[in-house]
Structure 1
């Protein structure tokens, strides 16, 4: 029996150490390999010692890895990496799955060769505040290229499908496949001790330190008054390089703790499971994996009010609109022990309703098989 083949592009590679698409690519690749697929993932190798080498190949848990060296991790070199990956992939057999549209212009290679190309459209990347005009223009153009050049589009949120239909006005087939996560019914409490944390005596934020993630509003809101518990922030902050990071750190009270980026998934799982409140400030994008993982751990949710978060966390979560509203909601939630437990159960209920187990991975495989059968 001939194996089906899949090529995964658009990430920095696996094993996933960055969250987001890297984690999803790892999950999908491992799942499909177990189902008998031949899976190749393109990986970016950074540093001069790698750059002096040509492409090199390795095998990880049955997944073929193609390592493409670049001298450093920057926007320019990432674009070059994506081009080299696309140029290599177009000469290989298999379905091309592109995660994100940041360099979708290179999908022209697949179009010219009549290769089956499926693109996950991610969030509205060009909407993000961090980009300057030229960067937004590049992303906008590539969003359109992804729509024009792909055979099938994947939206991780109903709102993204709506946007593609009504604003971009595409008639291309679109599948809505939100991310899933494994349920967390227990976690290692001892992992909290290295951070001097006590279960249920801290709130948690896991997000890149960018304006559209409402980090400044959340930190300022929490710091408006003593809370008698901690706010734990995960993410790398570089105040000497970034004015926004500097603002966030300056706004923090003594009860706000910055732990940097933590890539140990067992530690992150424990942090989510034992948090008293998970605060999610993302304003832009589709279904954020971090919010799904918070639901899967039964974390009580306070999220920024927008159509993306409202659909994911559901009607029973709490939402804030600005700094003062966030402060009031934090006070309201933290002072009500009974409500905290209800919120925890509501998170589990929403998780089982929409995001349980590996239903996203099964949906991807079903989509691929359907496309192959109707090619």
Structure 2
């Protein structure tokens, strides 16, 4: 039986973000294809490493007392160390602690690394964090036996580090949302198509301020729902965004109830995506899967994902002009929705993404076996 160990996430079932959702989808898919799947899971607390089973996935639970980034780093180190006693193929999601994966390379284990986005370019990080991410990106390129890029432009970036033969491009996937429960948006005072939505982490690089300022430039007779964990008492940027908002802007906080988030996407007029850095963004793919008409920041990452039927803005003024025009243009709205659905079905369905991953892992699994056999010859 083929065996895969998944490192670099907090665990399954998914509770924390895009990589966890992907790991859950991939794990269950591979089990259906006859694989033995092992996932390392971070737990709060102290004590011994334990194991459990979830829907056929073998979970290795590693308790960590520290919180935040330090705790994640400690978990990644302990998971990499524990993995040395395991056999099979390894898949590491993200390169933020890739330096620890040198343990697998020294042991002769075969490790495929998904290199995620260009983390060290993000505005939110200070110099120390950017340096750490930059060094780990370099380490991941050198240490990984093979690399996965989730966007053609990420692949081009990695090709400045290693040979293109060492990189496979496979984007993020999503589910097609064909219907949703309208009652789920009622508690927020919303009606279908009478609002637009932003769903992202409220960071400067995600254009929150520009989008809220553009919408709030004058009354719209329309609402803008801004999801995210805003902490204005602690974060100056959050205070600026809230201060810039007109009465038509709603801040319901961070919502983790998947059916509610799906309903907010499905019934919205426009989905706003302000990300300026990164590869294939999960939230954008999920919006396209829900058939959202997309208004996105104009950059090479978003243009490849959302395609030529989305509408793009460069700054606050161009975003405001888009609102002025599109809120009144029903034909353009319908064409944008159809464009999202077409582009999603063309490239981002989970069926295609997971099959692409398995095809890649099948190529590397025999090499993991050969590496183990060579060690004992």
* TM-score bracket relative to the smaller structure: over 0.9
Deviations 1:292-335 (A, max 9, x none): 11111110000000000000001121000001111111221111
Q: State the shift of 1:168 in Å.
A: 2.1
Which residue is equivalent to 2:200? 207
- Determine if contact 2:2/2:365 at 8 Å carries over to the other structure: no
Which residue is equivalent to 1:135? 129
Q: State the shift of 1:191 in Å.
A: 1.1
- Determine if contact 1:181/1:358 at 8 Å carries over to the other structure: no
Deviations 1:73-100 (A, max 9, x none): 3111111111001101121112111100
Residues 90-129 of structure 1 mapped to structure 2, 5 A cutoff: 90-129=84-123
The question of 1:355 aligning with 2:353 is answered no
Secondary structure in structure 2 of the residue aligned to 1:8: strand
The question of 1:10 aligning with 2:42 is answered no
Q: State the shift of 1:264 in Å.
A: 1.5
- Determine if contact 2:309/2:335 at 8 Å carries over to the other structure: no
Distance 2:30 2:162 in 1: 32
Which residue is equivalent to 1:196? 189
Q: State the shift of 1:238 in Å.
A: 1.0
Q: State the shift of 1:239 in Å.
A: 1.3
Unaligned runs of 5+ in 2: 371-377
Q: State the shift of 1:27 in Å.
A: 0.8
The question of 1:292 aligning with 2:285 is answered yes
- Determine if contact 2:232/2:238 at 8 Å carries over to the other structure: yes
Residues 177-188 of structure 1 mapped to structure 2, 5 A cutoff: 177-188=170-181
Q: State the shift of 1:367 in Å.
A: 0.5
Distance 2:228 2:5 in 1: 30
Distance 1:201 1:18 in 2: 30
The question of 1:281 aligning with 2:279 is answered no
Residues 134-153 of structure 1 mapped to structure 2, 5 A cutoff: 134-153=128-147
Distance 2:164 2:106 in 1: 20
- Determine if contact 1:147/1:172 at 8 Å carries over to the other structure: no
Select between 58-67 and 170-179 the one with higher mean Cα deviation. 170-179
Deviations 1:129-172 (A, max 9, x none): 0111111000000000000000000000000111111x324455
Which of 79, 83, 86 aligns to 1:89? It is 83
Distance 2:37 2:155 in 1: 27
Deviations 1:159-191 (A, max 9, x none): 0111111x3244551110011212111111111
Q: State the shift of 1:208 in Å.
A: 0.6
Which residue is equivalent to 1:370? 363
Q: State the shift of 1:193 in Å.
A: 1.5
Q: Post-superposition, which runs of at least 4 consecutive aligned residues in structure 1 deviate over 4 A?
A: none
Which residue is equivalent to 2:228? 235
Aligned residues: 368
Which residue is equivalent to 2:50? 56
Select between 243-252 and 128-137 the one with higher mean Cα deviation. 243-252
Distance 1:331 1:91 in 2: 60
Deviations 1:242-277 (A, max 9, x none): 111111111111111112121221111111111100
The question of 1:77 aligning with 2:71 is answered yes
Q: State the shift of 1:72 in Å.
A: 4.2
Distance 1:73 1:257 in 2: 31
The question of 1:332 aligning with 2:330 is answered no
Distance 1:262 1:311 in 2: 28
Select between 245-254 and 79-88 the one with higher mean Cα deviation. 245-254
The question of 1:164 aligning with 2:162 is answered no
> What TM-score, normalized to structure 1?
0.95
Deviations 1:46-80 (A, max 9, x none): 3xxxx232222221111111222222431111111
Which residue is equivalent to 2:303? 310
- Determine if contact 1:6/1:38 at 8 Å carries over to the other structure: yes
